[in-house]
C-alpha cells in the first residue's frame, strides 16, 4: 500500500536518511524500531509528508504523495505526532471535531455524516462519557485516546502514530495498543507507528521495520526481525528471547551490552 523508494531526507544540511526503500503492507500494523536518532520519526514524517524528501518518492496505492492535494491526502491518512497539544479550553468533542476538517465544505458546517463519525470515534475509544469534559481535566492516557479519536474521526484508511505510548504508565500503554489492535482487526485500518518498547512492538505488530543510522537493516514479521543477531546489529545488545504468551511473537527477556 505504501511504497518508499530511494528517499533522501534531512534537516537543513544534515542528512538523516539516505537512499532508503521500504514497503508497508495494507491492513496491517507496522512498527518502526531502532535506536535513538536512527531516523524512525524522520521516516514517519516523510511518509506523512510532514517532511519533504529531497530525493526519491513516497507512493500510496501507486500515487506519489508529493503530487497529491493536501485535502485528498488528509482523507486517506491521519497523523498523530509525537507531541500533540490542544488549545486551552477545548472539550473532548470539540477536539475530535477537528478530525472532520478534510471532509467539510468551505462553510465549515458539520453534516450528519460528520456527527456520525465523531460519535463513532468517541464510542470506539470509550470516551462518550467524557465528551463534554475539558481536555486539561483528563489523565495522560485519556488525552492520548482523545487524539486517537480525532484521527479516527478523520475516517482514513491509514493511521500514523509517532510514539503513541510515550509518557504513559504500563496500564495506559496497554490501553492504547489494544485499542489500535482492535481498530486494525475490526475496522481494517492500516496502522504505522514508531515504538521504543521492543516487546510491545513485537506483540502488537504484524510487520516490523528495523533501522540504524538512517538505513534499513531488515523488515518482515516479528519472528524474522526479533532475533538475537538482528537486535545485536540494530541496538548493539546481546538479547535473551522467548515467546510472548499473548501473541507467541518473540519478546526480549533481558539483554546485555554486546562486546
- Which of 85, 40, 19 minimizes the C-alpha distance to 192? 40
Does the pLDDT of residue 108 top 70, yes or no? Answer: no
Cell numbers at 222, concatenated: 516479528
Topology classification of domain 2-257: Rossmann fold (3.40.50)
Q: Which of 23-27, 106-110, 150-154, 225-229 has the lowest mean pLDDT?
A: 106-110
In this prediction, residue 259 carries a pLDDT of 74
Q: In Å, how far from its chain's centre is CA 15?
A: 23
In this prediction, residue 22 carries a pLDDT of 96
Phi, psi (5° rounding) for residue 111? -100, 175
In this prediction, residue 29 carries a pLDDT of 98
Q: For the chain, first and last CA: distance in Å?
A: 39
195-236 pLDDT tens trace: 999 999 999 999 999 999 999 999 999 999 999 999 999 999
CB burial of 176-214 (b: ≥16 within 10 Å; e: otherwise) equals bbebbbebbeeeebbbbbbbebbbbbbbbbbbbbbbbeb
Does the pLDDT of residue 105 top 70, yes or no? Answer: no
Place of cell 497539544: 85
111-150 pLDDT tens trace: 888 999 999 999 988 899 999 999 989 888 888 889 889 9
Does the pLDDT of residue 175 top 80, yes or no? Answer: yes
- pLDDT band for position 258 (50/70/90)? confident
- Distance, CA of 153 to CA of 121 (rounded, Å): 5
Q: What is the mean pLDDT of the chain?
A: 91
- Distance, CA of 125 to CA of 176 (rounded, Å): 9
Per-residue DSSP letter, 102: G
Stretch 188-196: mean pLDDT: 95
- Distance, CA of 139 to CA of 146 (rounded, Å): 11
In this prediction, residue 67 carries a pLDDT of 92
Cβ neighbors of 112 (< 8 A, separation 6 or more) are none
- With a pLDDT cut of 70, the percent of the chain lying above it is 98
Stretch 232-253: mean pLDDT: 96
Q: In Å, how far from its chain's centre is CA 62?
A: 21
In this prediction, residue 111 carries a pLDDT of 85
Which strands make up the sheet holding 14-24, listed edge to edge? Answer: 14-24, 2-11, 55-60, 63-64
- Distance, CA of 71 to CA of 220 (rounded, Å): 32
Residues 178, 184 contacting (CB under 8 angstroms): no
Q: Cα separations (Å) of 151 from 221, 238, 239, 253?
A: 26, 38, 35, 34
Place of cell 516479528: 222
In this prediction, residue 107 carries a pLDDT of 60
Does the pLDDT of residue 189 top 80, yes or no? Answer: yes
SS3 55: strand
Dihedral sign for Cα 148, 155, 196, 241, please: positive
Amino acid at each position: 500500500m505504501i511504497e518508499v523508494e530511494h528517499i533522501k531526507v534531512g534537516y537543513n544540511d544534515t542528512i538523516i536518511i539516505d537512499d532508503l526503500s521500504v514497503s508497508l503492507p495494507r491492513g496491517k500494523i507496522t512498527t518502526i524500531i531502532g535506536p535513538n536518532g536512527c531516523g524512525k520519526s524522520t521516516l514517519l514524517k516523510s511518509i506523512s509528508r510532514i517532511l519533504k524528501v529531497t530525493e526519491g518518492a513516497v507512493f500510496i496505492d501507486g500515487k506519489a504523495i508529493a503530487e497529491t492535494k493536501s485535502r485528498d491526502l488528509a482523507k486517506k491518512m491521519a497523523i498523530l505526532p509525537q507531541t500533540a497539544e490542544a488549545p486551552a479550553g477545548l472539550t473532548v468533542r470539540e477536539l475530535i471535531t477537528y478530525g472532520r476538517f478534510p471532509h467539510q465544505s468551505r462553510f465549515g458546517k458539520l453534516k450528519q455524516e460528520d456527527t456520525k463519525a465523531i460519535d463513532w470515534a468517541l464510542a470506539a475509544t470509550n470516551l462518550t462519557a467524557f465528551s463534554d469534559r475539558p481536555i486539561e481535566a483528563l489523565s495522560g492516557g485519556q488525552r492520548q485516546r482523545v487524539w486517537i479519536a480525532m484521527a479516527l474521526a478523520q475516517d482514513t484508511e491509514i493511521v500514523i502514530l509517532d510514539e503513541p505510548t510515550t509518557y504513559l504508565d504500563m496500564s495506559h500503554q496497554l490501553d492504547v495498543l489494544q485499542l489500535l489492535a482492535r481498530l486494525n482487526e475490526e475496522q481494517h485500518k492500516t496502522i504505522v507507528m514508531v515504538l521504543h518498547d521492543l516487546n510491545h512492538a513485537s506483540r502488537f505488530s504484524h510487520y516490523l521495520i528495523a533501522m540504524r543510522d538512517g538505513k534499513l537493516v531488515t523488515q518482515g514479521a516479528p519472528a524474522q526481525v526479533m532475533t538475537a543477531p538482528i537486535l545485536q546489529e540494530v541496538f548493539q545488545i546481546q538479547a535473551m528471547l522467548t515467546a510472548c504468551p499473548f501473541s507467541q511473537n518473540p519478546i526480549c527477556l533481558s539483554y546485555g551490552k554486546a562486546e
